[in-house]
Amino acid sequence: MGEFELIDRYFSQLGAQRADVVQGVGDDAALLAVPPGQQLVTCVDTLVAGHHFPHDSHADDIGWRALAVNLSDLAAMGATPAWAMLALTMPDVDEEWLEGFAAGFGALAMQHGVALVGGDTTRGPLSISVSLLGLLPTGTALRRSGARPGDLIYVTGWPGDAAAGLALLQGRLQGHGADRGALEFKFRRPEPRVAFGSRLRGIASSCIDVSDGLAADLGRLVAASGVGAVLRAAELPLSRALYALAGEARARDFALGGGDDYELLYTVAPGARQQMFQLAASAGAPACHCIGEVVAGRGVRVLGERGELPIPRGWDHFHA
């Protein structure tokens, strides 16, 4: 199969059909209609086989992940995703793989109303780069830099589950049955908090998505805001499955240092607490837990019952 046939068969109609796509796949570039009063929000993330997912991952999980990691970035800005571009580098044309990849990517794109509007296809070691474009009302984006001393720190979902799922897949953690299945699924199929992120506009003072580990990403948020953070270890949400397979101390290390959560970590000023309660209690909201407080100063500290706890290092590609 040639390049054009491949693009036509797998990528020319992938995801949602949108009226604002003036020209999608097929011309030299895509042409998109940005509504007046809206800002364009863009991000790009590359997945390299063996680094961002195990070599033996299913193609549909890879397709899902390639879009999910970008959806999570837009969620953290409070944006609504609209259009995606896909730069795909692969060693050969494997139709079964392409079928699976397009199915995983397409299923998540449909869920979020995202149209694939263009891309590039080349030969080489497997690597997938997705660029995602979204919209939000001008001036309403959630930033990392808005946290102030006294703000409460919240996280969605159950951080650490995905990292434990990867550890199970790689044999660094042992376990069986439903708990194992649940954690592995959290790694294989992250559910970015897109709808919730857009509802945090006007409520959260700052926001970041947790991709490299809760403590490391909180460190970035407080650095951007020029403040510090104190977390209470006892308030960290640990899922029952994580607790059962890893035990309390290791579960906490997964929650603080493990990556791949794609949850939202955000701060709320005391005055917006009531709105936050209402949002958290509304239909479809993910679990939200208050895990600490923004303080004057810098850096992240984690307080346990007997004083400060060491913080496991987050994920950094260029760390020696």
Binding site residues, ligand ADP, CB under 6 A: 7, 11, 25-28, 86, 88, 116, 118-121
Nearer to Mg ion, 85 or 135 (CB): 85
Nearer to Mg ion, 14 or 241 (CB): 14
Nearer to ligand ADP, 101 or 254 (CB): 101
222 binds, among ligand ADP, Mg ion, none (CB under 5 to 8 A by kind): none
Nearer to ligand ADP, 7 or 251 (CB): 7
116 binds, among ligand ADP, Mg ion, none (CB under 5 to 8 A by kind): ligand ADP
CB-based contact 213:300 (threshold 8 Å): no
Both tokens of 299, joined, read 């850096």
Taking the complex as a whole, how short is the minimal distance between the CB of residue 7 and ligand ADP, in angstroms? 5
What is the helix (H) or strand (E) element at residue 14, kind and residue range?
Answer: none
SS3 282: coil
**Which residues within the stretch 103-142 sit at the binding site for Mg ion (CB under 5 A)?**
120
Phi, then psi, of 273 in degrees rounded to 5 = -60, -45
In order of 111, 242, 286, the CA distances from 78 in angstroms are 17, 29, 15
Local structure of residue 319 (DSSP, 8 states): -
Positive or negative, the Cα torsion across 201, 204, 208, 214? negative
How far apart (Å, rounded) are the C-alpha atoms in residues 25 and 14?
Answer: 10
27 binds, among ligand ADP, Mg ion, none (CB under 5 to 8 A by kind): ligand ADP
86 binds, among Mg ion, ligand ADP, none (CB under 5 to 8 A by kind): ligand ADP
Nearer to Mg ion, 93 or 279 (CB): 93
Q: Is 316 in the site for Mg ion (CB under 5 A)?
A: no
Taking the complex as a whole, how short is the minimal distance between the CB of residue 2 and ligand ADP, in angstroms? 10
How far apart (Å, rounded) are the C-alpha atoms in residues 272 and 151?
Answer: 9
Question: How wide is the angle at C-alpha 46 spanned by C-alphas 311 and 13, nearest 5°?
Answer: 135
- Which residues in this chain contact Mg ion in the complex, by CB under 5 A? 120
